[in-house]
């Protein structure tokens, strides 16, 4: 257990429905990342937050995707009008960025596995 939790762990939905995932990072971590992982591939970056500010979004994040991190604590990722191609594992990670730009460890949650029928 890394200290990062995600809910739900599994979600099955029908095409066209909206889904929302939640991530609770390690409490003192100021950075939060969302990644998506499809079968047999490594995770791909979606978006990241520094405290409550969303500072970067990948081109993978279409207009149907939105992420928030109110108050710089937990984060939600919503997918509207889901498509079968959205089926994947959605991973959240958090880290604490210090002053030195020497690298940081990202701590990953267990992921939410989404299946769109």
Which chain residues interact with other proteins by CB under 8 A? 2, 4, 31, 33, 35, 40-45, 48, 55-56, 89, 91, 93, 95, 97, 101-111, 113
Of the pair 18, 44, the CB lying nearest other proteins is at: 44
Of the pair 18, 55, the CB lying nearest other proteins is at: 55
Distances from the Cα of 37 to the Cα of 68, 87, 101, 113, angstroms:
20, 9, 27, 9
Distances from the Cα of 77 to the Cα of 7, 38, 58, 105, angstroms:
11, 17, 14, 22
Name, in order, each residue with C-beta under 8 angstroms of 11's C-beta and a sequence gap of 6 or more. Answer: 19, 21, 112, 113, 114, 115
Cβ at position 81, least distance to other proteins in Å: 26
Cβ at position 95, least distance to other proteins in Å: 8
Cβ at position 34, least distance to other proteins in Å: 10
Cβ at position 24, least distance to other proteins in Å: 13
DSSP 80: S
Of the pair 43, 116, the CB lying nearest other proteins is at: 43
Secondary structure class of 64 (helix, strand, coil):
coil
């Amino acid at each position: 257990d890394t200290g990062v939790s995600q809910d739900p762990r599994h979600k099955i939905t029908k095409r066209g429905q909206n889904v929302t995932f939640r991530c609770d990072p390690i409490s003192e971590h100021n950075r939060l990342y969302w990644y998506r992982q499809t079968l047999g591939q490594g995770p791909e970056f979606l978006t990241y937050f520094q405290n409550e500010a969303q500072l970067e979004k990948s081109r993978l994040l279409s207009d149907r995707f939105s992420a928030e991190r109110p108050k710089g604590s937990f984060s939600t990722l919503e997918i509207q009008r889901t498509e079968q191609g959205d089926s994947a594992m959605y991973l959240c990670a958090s880290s604490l960025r210090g002053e030195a730009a020497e690298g940081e460890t990202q701590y990953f949650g267990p992921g939410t596995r989404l299946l769109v029928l």
